[in-house]
Amino acid sequence: MLEVNQRSYRLPTSPTVVVCVDGCEPDYLAQSVATGHMPWLERTLAEGEGLIADCVVPSFTNPNNLSIVTGAPPSVHGICGNYLFDTASGTEVMMNDPKWLRAPTLLAALADAGKSVAVVTAKDKLRRLLGHGMKGICFSAEKSDEATAEENGIADVPAMVGMPVPSVYSAALSEFVFAAGVKLMEQRRPDVMYLSTTDYVQHKHAPGTEGANAFDAMMDSYLSRLHEMGCVIALTADHGMNAKVALDGRPDVIYLQDWCDAQLGPGAARVILPITDPYVVHHGALGSFATIYLPAGVEPRTVVGALQANPRMEAVLTREEAARRFELPADRIGDIVCVSGRFTVIGTSASRHDLSGLDAPLRSHGGISEQRVPLILNRKLPGLDTSRRLRNFDAFDLALNHAQ
């Protein structure tokens, strides 16, 4: 048994693959299965377990990937967004550096316990966090051509996969992750593998549409091959995805910095959008979660009350309330946390969002409305307490402790 972050895990007896499908709202799978695009999944739902779980809010990529590999909420691992206001330095910084990580990963612990571990991510932004302290293979599709034996535990990845390095804005970037996973399993048969895709397709295509079904069909064929190789597979998602548009089809945005500037004076408060990262073309840095740092002397309750009056906000909470409800590190969020509703996103100032790259009606995430994710195992789970609230970060627990 392995103890990581106050949870116990059995060591795998079969090769175990945990897949985090970025932005995989469960309805994607439902529509694809219903229309015959996922024959492997259809069979798996009958022969294994198809569960629904809650992801971490903010329903963004980094907090959830880190939750999955630590088996713990952000209050434990510390990664509560892609982007952070560092109060120590007074600057806004990316949270990609492992220095922000407050907990060991299960991947590192499994490697330390002598298991061979491989991690493949779509974008490089996650790679360093996921691979922190871990012996084994860890690379991104995005920079797969730069992978070296020293840094990544493997070299010449595109040749192994038999695919060129895809564009960071493409469905192929995720396909590369699955193709690499299948090749790794064929050639090296790691004991544990973690695959994490990108939501480029999900940001553009709604469940049941051609683009979404084609993505799911691609995924299904690779998962089927891993299944045939005897792998235990747990599939979950970092977050869901919803249309975020007004009646005119344009993004329905609450520009929160503009609102704060009008209420409290220009620049007095600082609005942070933790969705922000270097890849914002497909969502314009617009998500359904924001946090506000207030100037001294402003009572958070008053601002919370004013924002709660906006029916497009789903929840507006003080730091303490948000830290408790969403299990977030209180020292890394602002005085106020805002979560907008199913069809609404939060921006800073209208002038600071470049929406020119949006070539389809905005779909995004970050809120409570994107908290529902699939949690699918290709094995029955005898003895699982189905009345417990399942989380996406139970994926390794289910795969290691219940499925084998």
Does residue number 99 form part of the binding site for a copy of itself (CB under 8 A)? no
Q: Which of 209, 318, 401, 404 binds a copy of itself (CB under 8 A)?
A: 209
SS3 call for 290: strand
Q: Binding string, 353-372, against a copy of itself, x = CB under 8 A?
A: -------xx----------x
**Angle formed at CA 66 by CA 355 and CA 93, multiple of 5 degrees:** 50
SS3 call for 158: helix
How many Å apart are CA 104 and CA 231, to the nearest integer? 25
To the nearest whole angstrom, how small is the minimum distance from the Cβ of residue 181 to a copy of itself?
22
Going by their DSSP bridges, the two strands 83-86 and 91-94 should be labelled as: antiparallel
The answer to whether residues 240 and 26 touch, using CB atoms and an 8 Å cutoff, is: yes
Residue 251 DSSP label: B
Structure tokens at 340: 């907008």
| Nearer Cβ to a copy of itself (42/145) | 42
Does residue number 48 form part of the binding site for a copy of itself (CB under 8 A)? no
| Nearer Cβ to a copy of itself (80/206) | 206
Supply φ then ψ for residue 337, to 5 degrees: -120, 130
Q: Which residues lie closer than 8 Å to 212 by C-beta, 6 or more apart?
A: 28, 31, 32, 201, 202, 205, 206
The answer to whether residues 117 and 136 touch, using CB atoms and an 8 Å cutoff, is: yes
Q: Which of 2, 343, 381, 404 binds a copy of itself (CB under 8 A)?
A: 343
Contacts for 94-101: CB closer than 8 Å, 24+ residues apart? 94/125, 94/277, 94/278, 95/62, 96/62, 96/125, 96/126, 96/128, 96/129, 97/128, 98/128, 98/129, 98/132, 98/133, 100/129, 101/66, 101/77, 101/129, 101/132
To the nearest whole angstrom, how small is the minimum distance from the Cβ of residue 220 to a copy of itself?
13
Of 311-330, which residues contact a copy of itself (CB under 8 A)? 311
Does residue number 123 form part of the binding site for a copy of itself (CB under 8 A)? no
- Tell me the number of residues near a copy of itself by CB under 8 A: 36
Does residue number 211 form part of the binding site for a copy of itself (CB under 8 A)? no
How many Å apart are CA 386 and CA 304, to the nearest integer? 36
| Nearer Cβ to a copy of itself (173/375) | 375
| Nearer Cβ to a copy of itself (229/355) | 355
To the nearest whole angstrom, how small is the minimum distance from the Cβ of residue 26 to a copy of itself?
6
Q: Which stretch binds a copy of itself (CB under 8 A): 81-89, 96-104, 124-132, 204-212?
A: 204-212
| Nearer Cβ to a copy of itself (106/384) | 384
The answer to whether residues 180 and 190 touch, using CB atoms and an 8 Å cutoff, is: no
Q: Which stretch binds a copy of itself (CB under 8 A): 39-47, 89-97, 172-180, 213-221?
A: 39-47
Of 10-29, which residues contact a copy of itself (CB under 8 A)? 26-27, 29
| Nearer Cβ to a copy of itself (216/258) | 216
Does residue number 245 form part of the binding site for a copy of itself (CB under 8 A)? yes
Q: Which stretch binds a copy of itself (CB under 8 A): 116-124, 178-186, 201-209, 349-357?
A: 201-209
Does residue number 380 form part of the binding site for a copy of itself (CB under 8 A)? no
How many Å apart are CA 326 and CA 304, to the nearest integer? 17
Does residue number 249 form part of the binding site for a copy of itself (CB under 8 A)? yes
> Which among 374, 107, 47 has a CA at the least distance from the CA of 232?
47
Does residue number 306 form part of the binding site for a copy of itself (CB under 8 A)? no
**Angle formed at CA 285 by CA 284 and CA 290, multiple of 5 degrees:** 145
Omega prior to 58 cis, within 30 of 0: yes
| Nearer Cβ to a copy of itself (42/146) | 42
| Nearer Cβ to a copy of itself (36/133) | 36
| Nearer Cβ to a copy of itself (132/365) | 365
How many Å apart are CA 3 and CA 58, to the nearest integer? 27
Residue found under tokens 């709604």: 206
Does residue number 217 form part of the binding site for a copy of itself (CB under 8 A)? no
| Nearer Cβ to a copy of itself (101/245) | 245
In the complex, the residues that contact a copy of itself under the rule CB under 8 A are 26-27, 29-35, 41-42, 45-46, 50, 52, 206-209, 243, 245-250, 309, 311, 343, 360-361, 372, 374, 376, 387, 389
